[in-house]
Structure 1
Amino acid sequence: MRKLSFGMNVSLDGYIAAPGDDIGWGGPPSEELFQWWLELERASGLSLYGRKLWETMSSYWPTGDQQPDATPAEIEFARNWRETPKVVFSSTIDKVDWNTRLVTGDAVAEITRLKAGDGGPMGIGGATLAGAAMRAGLIDEYQLATYPVLVGGGTPFFTALDNWVNLNLVETRTFPGGVVLTRYQTRR
């Protein structure tokens, strides 16, 4: 069975986006944090995206390595992003590119099917999609890069749940700028 992880940058008050879908509150990640995200992405065998995150990622990373100021890590991230198989879950778009497949039906059923298959770990991104996977008990690990900023509202990292989910802390790490990484695995 494949492992499913949900990781995002998050404000100290628990939001992945401020009101108006503003994700600029964190500023660019430090080189060290960006490298950590790159290593996580390299280890992923499949990336699962909701529509909004897909639109954000696909608007930059297909050519991110061609930007004049791209760092070596950004060049590697862009190349890895293009090469990693991706699944986008959306009922409002009709075309995806860059080694990506579109799913318009039941997201939980498809994620369950993908988890039961062979392959490397999977990462999931996007609040609505990850929220559905959380409620279905499909997420095995949570990775939060918490920034020292309060945004006061917006899109929360965690969704409302029907039941408690017990977690084990498996890693903490501090990055430049006061960003604190915490990784938790779901107790089964």
Structure 2
Amino acid sequence: MRKLSYLVATSIDGFIGDPTGEAEFFAQYGKEDYWEYYWAELPETLPTAARRHFGIDDRPNRRFDTTIMGRATYEVGLPLGFTSPYGHLRQYVVSTTLDKAPDPAVEVISEDPVGRVRELKREDGLDIWLCGGARLAGELVEEMDELVIKTYPCFLGSGMPLAEAGFAIRDFTLDSVKSFGGGVVLTTYSRKR
């Protein structure tokens, strides 16, 4: 059975973006060792255009063949013409307001995202990457099998939380911690079931 992994960037104080959800500022903290690791181990989590830019678009998907994201996460690239941001993955956007995506490679899930994720988990293939955002992470928190948290060395004070899930104790087991130049820490947790 495939896993749902929430791989996300966060500040030290647990925010995945500023109050509007913008998070481009995290990129300034990655140093060469971080990017080399990222390109080698998680190349499919870079948008298709970024993969081309860095010359790694020929690298195979290692962990994920599917991504699921909320509407706001998807819409970040639309003004730049990125209608299929992860064209090297199966792409799903969860939205009750978006009738259909402007690109046929992107499928809109308008109802029951939990049920759809459960169906995807039963399929053969690589794992499923929950790309963002906070509201969708809250809806899918009980389906998360793994958390991969990229913590950047900044303190925001407020912003978009890691998830809008409501209070409950959900136990995870620490699998690994990797630190990189520039102060970036990659922490992986598995769901304790």
Q: Distance in 2 between matches of 1:131 and 1:31?
A: 33
Kindly report the root-mean-square deviation, in angstroms, between the aligned alpha carbons of the 2 structures: 2.4
- After superposition, residues 120-131 of structure 1 pair within 5 angstroms as 120-125=126-131, 126-131=133-138
Query: What amino acid maps onto 2:122 in structure 1?
Result: A
Q: Distance in 2 between matches of 1:116 and 1:83?
A: 21
Q: 2:174 aligns with which of 169, 173, 176?
A: 169
The residue aligned with 1:183 is 188
The residue aligned with 1:51 is 71
Long gaps (5+) in structure 1: 64-77
Aligned 8 A contact 2:93 2:106 in 1 = yes
Q: 1:152 aligns with which of 153, 157, 174?
A: 157
Long gaps (5+) in structure 2: 45-60
Q: Distance in 1 between matches of 2:151 and 2:76?
A: 20
- After superposition, residues 27-42 of structure 1 pair within 5 angstroms as 27-28=27-28, 29-38=30-39, 39-40=41-42, 41=44, 42=61
Query: What amino acid maps onto 1:46 in structure 2?
Result: T
Aligned 8 A contact 1:18 1:25 in 2 = no
Query: What amino acid maps onto 1:178 in structure 2?
Result: G
Please state how far the C-alpha of 1:4 moved relative to its aligned partner.
0.6
The residue aligned with 1:4 is 4
Q: Distance in 1 between matches of 2:107 and 2:136?
A: 15
- After superposition, residues 87-166 of structure 1 pair within 5 angstroms as 87-96=92-101, 97=103, 99-125=105-131, 126-134=133-141, 137-166=142-171
The residue aligned with 1:18 is 18
Query: What amino acid maps onto 1:104 in structure 2?
Result: S
Residue 161 and residue 103 in structure 1: after superposition, are their counterparts in 2 closer, same or farther (change >3 A)?
A: same
Q: Distance in 2 between matches of 1:184 and 1:11?
A: 17
Please state how far the C-alpha of 1:83 moved relative to its aligned partner.
2.1
The residue aligned with 2:53 is none
Q: Distance in 2 between matches of 1:142 and 1:151?
A: 21
Query: What amino acid maps onto 1:56 in structure 2?
Result: V
Query: What amino acid maps onto 1:130 in structure 2?
Result: A
Residue 162 and residue 84 in structure 1: after superposition, are their counterparts in 2 closer, same or farther (change >3 A)?
A: same
SS at match of 2:76: helix
Q: Deviations over 1:93-143 (max 9, x none)?
A: 223226221111111121122122222100012211111110xx2101001
Residue 86 and residue 10 in structure 1: after superposition, are their counterparts in 2 closer, same or farther (change >3 A)?
A: same
Residue 61 and residue 166 in structure 1: after superposition, are their counterparts in 2 closer, same or farther (change >3 A)?
A: farther
SS at match of 2:137: helix
